[in-house]
């Protein structure tokens, strides 16, 4: 393509990225003006409970905020947002605690959005550095389009969710070549999105002990750091009665985002609370898939580290019961990998473009999310097992450790 046409094409894509970003900012502004029921009010409530010194894992601590956050008395909000306690491990309180000192929801939400857009910008720069830097400005535009064009990005902004904060740590873990530092980056991802514990399969299978040990040490340090904010009582409550045990089973019935939700659609009586023992088929399938993931990691070469991580990432999203449509933001490193390594993986430009386009289109349909995660796990597992194509001038990134 002639240079002039390349510049015109880059300018058009850059304009598209700016317009998409403007649409996201507009969506955030509308949320601030008219705060929705989900999800920021939950974060704001958690911050105020912690700042007041109450137990964030005791549903009774949420009752005084019912009239403020849920004046319409929405039953689902009462049973989930106010009825299970903080739905994150204790170290997550470090994100929400500052909100406890902001009395008004709109003002607090505006500051929260500033932090979320800063995380979005940082994640875009990290993706650019990891996957698109050789393309210079065009690469930065490509990274931005990967982010803003993903339907899950819009959902994340509308819900004021924390996916881009988790994504920043995920990319840092993904691209880190030092084993000890990689573990430090992995720990916050596990806290914010617990399905990331599935990466331990790769670390154990490939004997990346330094990464595993540093991740465990970082997790222990984060839990210790959270004690002044959640208190010993909160820590004990989290251990003895995990919030996951309070999720109504009916919450999982209406979705297609994860294997558990798909299987729950066949429940004749979705009464009671979340329970793995009530779904033995889920446990059996999950164990079998994780075992297959471990085999893939064992049989793939060291040069296929990122491809194995991509397969486990997609598998984790598929298996994690609480996966929502907005979680697809965390799939961005795998999608960018598919583009950067399209020749090494043997799929070529046309193949990579087709796969990525199909996924972006599929993610516009909520019923397709779980299927996309499952198919991605299969795709990347197959790519990890095949011998990489030898492309002249293409350098394979070194493995951790």
18 lies in some domain:
yes
213 lies in some domain:
yes
The pLDDT, as a whole number, for residue 362 is 93
400 lies in some domain:
no
pTM > 0.85: yes or no = yes
393 lies in some domain:
no
391 lies in some domain:
no
Instruction: State how far the Cα of 83 lies from the Cα of 60, in Å rounded to an integer.
Output: 8
What is the domain count for the chain?
1
Q: Averaged in consecutive runs of 10 residues, what is the pLDDT profile of the chain (401 residues)?
A: 72 89 95 91 94 92 89 85 89 95 92 97 96 90 95 95 97 93 96 96 94 96 94 90 81 82 77 75 93 93 89 96 92 95 90 94 88 94 78 44 44
> Tokens representing 386?
């095949």
The pLDDT, as a whole number, for residue 391 is 45
20 lies in some domain:
yes
The pLDDT, as a whole number, for residue 400 is 44
Range of the domain at 109: 3-385
Instruction: State how far the Cα of 41 lies from the Cα of 5, in Å rounded to an integer.
Output: 48
264 lies in some domain:
yes
Strand partners, 273: 248
The pLDDT, as a whole number, for residue 395 is 45
| Contact between residue 317 and residue 331 where contact means Cβ atoms under 8 Å apart | yes
302 lies in some domain:
yes
The pLDDT, as a whole number, for residue 210 is 94
| Contact between residue 89 and residue 194 where contact means Cβ atoms under 8 Å apart | yes
């Amino acid at each position: 393509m002639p240079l002039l046409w390349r510049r015109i094409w880059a300018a058009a894509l850059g304009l598209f990225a700016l317009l998409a970003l403007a649409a996201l900012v507009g969506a955030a502004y509308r949320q601030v003006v008219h705060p929705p029921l989900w999800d920021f009010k939950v974060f704001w409530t958690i911050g105020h409970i912690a700042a007041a010194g109450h137990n964030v894992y005791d549903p009774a601590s949420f009752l005084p905020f019912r009239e403020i956050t849920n004046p319409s008395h929405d039953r689902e909000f009462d049973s989930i947002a106010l009825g299970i306690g903080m739905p994150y491990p204790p170290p997550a309180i470090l994100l929400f605690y500052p909100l406890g000192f902001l009395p008004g929801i709109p003002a607090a939400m505006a500051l929260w959005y500033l932090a979320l857009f800063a995380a979005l910008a940082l994640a875009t720069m990290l993706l650019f550095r990891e996957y698109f830097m050789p393309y210079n400005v065009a690469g930065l535009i490509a990274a931005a389009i990967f982010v803003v064009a993903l339907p899950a990005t819009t959902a994340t902004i509308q819900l004021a969710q924390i996916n881009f904060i988790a994504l920043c740590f995920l990319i840092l873990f993904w691209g880190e070549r030092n084993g000890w530092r990689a573990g430090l980056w992995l720990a916050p991802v596990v806290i914010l999105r617990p399905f990331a514990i599935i990466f331990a399969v790769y670390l154990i299978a490939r004997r990346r002990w330094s990464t595993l040990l540093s991740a465990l040490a970082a997790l222990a340090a984060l839990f210790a750091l959270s004690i002044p904010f959640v208190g010993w009582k909160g820590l004990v409550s989290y251990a003895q009665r995990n919030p996951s045990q309070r999720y109504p089973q009916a919450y999982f019935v209406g979705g297609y985002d994860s294997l558990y939700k798909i299987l729950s659609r066949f429940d004749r009586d979705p009464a009671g609370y979340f329970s793995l023992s009530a779904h033995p088929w889920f446990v059996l399938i999950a164990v079998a898939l994780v075992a297959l993931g471990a085999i893939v990691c064992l049989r793939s070469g060291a040069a296929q580290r990122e491809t194995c991580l991509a397969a486990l990432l997609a598998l984790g999203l598929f298996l994690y019961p609480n996966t929502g449509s907005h979680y697809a933001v965390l799939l961005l490193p795998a999608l960018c990998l598919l583009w950067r390594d399209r020749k090494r993986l043997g799929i070529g430009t046309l193949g990579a473009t087709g796969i990525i386009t199909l996924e972006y289109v599929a993610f516009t349909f909520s019923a397709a999310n779980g299927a996309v995660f499952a198919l991605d796990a299969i795709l990347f597992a197959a790519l990890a097992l095949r011998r990489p194509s030898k492309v002249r001038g293409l350098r394979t990134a070194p493995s951790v450790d």
